[in-house]
Structure 1
Amino acid sequence: MSTVEDPVLAKPAGLCCLRGSIHSGEPAGKVIQIGGVDTYVATPDEKTANGHVLLFFPDAFGLHINNFLMMDAFAASGYLTLGVDYFAGDPIWKHSQNPLNDPNFAFESWKNKHMASTDSISAKWVKDVEAAYGKDGQVKFVAAGHCWGARFVCTQLFKDGICKAGAIAHPSFMNQSHVRNIEAPILFSVANVDSLFMAEQRSKAVEIMTEGKKKFNMQVFSNVGHGFASRAFLSDPYEKWAKETSFKSFVDWFEFWLSAA
């Protein structure tokens, strides 16, 4: 929630979060329980595994085919990838296959139901993941988040967070404190025109992080909208390129900062 002392940088999720394409493919991972929370686990091949863990905080579609395939891609890049179901079995896609144009789907009610609970579920889940996967002290954690998941990446980059680096795309629900309190490196991957994260707010985020001497990068893609990094129309060559470039930037960002950690 925003306050006078903590203004909004990225607005709460809106109808733009429901736009985009549903991708096709066969998920390679599996769903297990960690601390009572459904978690998608994408495991890297032994030959490519880098020994590190990537925490994946999904958009409003939660544990869904687009996000499964993206987590599989992170695993193919060497990371044991864990995706949290902070919607507790109630993601958007279980209500409607076409939520943007479905008059029977009450998006605002669904959003309000999950705003607070996703915070508490996410916080507990991270502690349980750290207990299960970070015991020997050798494993390094990074975090990726899209839209709804962006602020959870930010909190894992705070002083008491567990991640060495984070990357977010087209954020929502993000206040100034989320970037002001970051201490680990962060990458922003955003659309030039996004009603939730407009140019003025992007500039403010850069200003805050510059003044705070944060380690950051912000890449801005033209001619795509909110959701491009997770729900791009792959039939459009430029959207496909933007999505793939955003993903590669996440991987490159993690590899650089993990090698420097």
Structure 2
Amino acid sequence: MASHQPGKCCFEGVYHDGTAKGCYEEIFGLDTYATGSTSPNEKVIVILTDVYGNKFNNVLLTADKFADAGYMVFVPDILFGDAIPLDKPIDRDAWLQRHSPEVTKKIVDGFMKLLKLEYDPKFIGVVGYCFGAKFAVQHINGKVGLANAAAIAHPSFVSIEEIEAIDSKRPLLISAAEEDHIFPANLRHLTEEKLKDNHAIYQLDLFSGVAHGFAARGDVSIPAVKYAKEKVLLDQIYWFDHFSKV
């Protein structure tokens, strides 16, 4: 594995305050948060969420920031209405069985294929947080991927084979936490080696003083977390801005 399966830290987080500006629509059969005024024929970003799903305010605020930067943004419900509640206990093993990689892949692939067929955007960027990172990586695969570039933060579930299959012309940005037993140092280094061997276009940033989940649901009252979270978003926007013009 390039990153381990989700653990306890993947089911913990802090709610971020703010008012979302987008709306929910049924898009390609999925309840989807849509935000932005850019044509979906131009620049699109698809956000693949962590276990808290596409109703979690944190991801909506992030999506709005991408929209403000000039993208049409879609956050599809890849959890089929079964997102984790932030404030209630959950049987993690049972939840993960319901959301196996095989099940989730079909949902993500179906959405991406119809996005490409319906709008054929000039650029598709895909963002994956934690649980969603695996499927973001799959969509810069050289044979079946439909995205032009990807950005992932504190990934889980990603296999070495998926890293090896990345198209060397499809860039990958990885934002990692210093304290992360899901994506620990040895797996970061292994990922770097595989990306280098593959002549991939990549960037891997390691943020000190933060733990797994910081970019999506970190406690922004902690200065190190606030900085890292905001920097990841700025990096992701710059990443897509750059490669959408290449």
TM-score range, shorter chain: over 0.9
Looking at structure 2, the residues matched to 229 and 12 of structure 1 have their Cα atoms a distance apart, in angstroms, of: 18
Percent of pairs with identical residues: 30
Looking at structure 2, the residues matched to 60 and 211 of structure 1 have their Cα atoms a distance apart, in angstroms, of: 32
Which residue pairs with 1:5 in the alignment?
Answer: none
Structure 1 residue corresponding to 2:152, chosen from 152, 168, 184: 168
1:51 counterpart = 2:71: no
| Structure 2 counterpart of 1:51, one-letter code | E
Looking at structure 2, the residues matched to 216 and 164 of structure 1 have their Cα atoms a distance apart, in angstroms, of: 13
**Native 8 Å contact 1:50 1:78 kept in 2:** no
Report how far residue 220 of structure 1 moved. Answer: 0.2
Q: Runs of 5+ in structure 1 lacking a partner?
A: 1-7
Aligned length: 241
SS state at 1:239 partner: helix
Q: Runs of 5+ in structure 2 lacking a partner?
A: none
Looking at structure 2, the residues matched to 193 and 89 of structure 1 have their Cα atoms a distance apart, in angstroms, of: 30
Report how far residue 45 of structure 1 moved. Answer: 6.7
Give CA-to-partner distance per residue, 1:3-46, whole Å, 9 cap, x none. Answer: xxxxx111111110122211111111111112211111011479
**Native 8 Å contact 1:169 1:189 kept in 2:** yes
SS state at 2:245 partner: helix
Looking at structure 2, the residues matched to 82 and 245 of structure 1 have their Cα atoms a distance apart, in angstroms, of: 21
SS state at 1:222 partner: strand
**Native 8 Å contact 2:140 2:148 kept in 1:** yes
Which residue pairs with 1:110 in the alignment?
Answer: 95
Report how far residue 139 of structure 1 moved. Answer: 2.1
Task: Give the TM-score normalised by the residue count of structure 1.
Answer: 0.88
Looking at structure 1, the residues matched to 43 and 57 of structure 2 have their Cα atoms a distance apart, in angstroms, of: 23
Following superposition of structure 1 onto structure 2, how do residues 143-154 of structure 1 map, counting pairs within 5 Å? 143-154=126-137
Which residue pairs with 1:4 in the alignment?
Answer: none
Which residue pairs with 2:65 in the alignment?
Answer: 73
Looking at structure 1, the residues matched to 243 and 201 of structure 2 have their Cα atoms a distance apart, in angstroms, of: 10
RMSD of aligned C-alpha atoms? 1.6
**Native 8 Å contact 1:171 1:197 kept in 2:** yes
Looking at structure 2, the residues matched to 158 and 109 of structure 1 have their Cα atoms a distance apart, in angstroms, of: 29
Task: Give the TM-score normalised by the residue count of structure 2.
Answer: 0.94
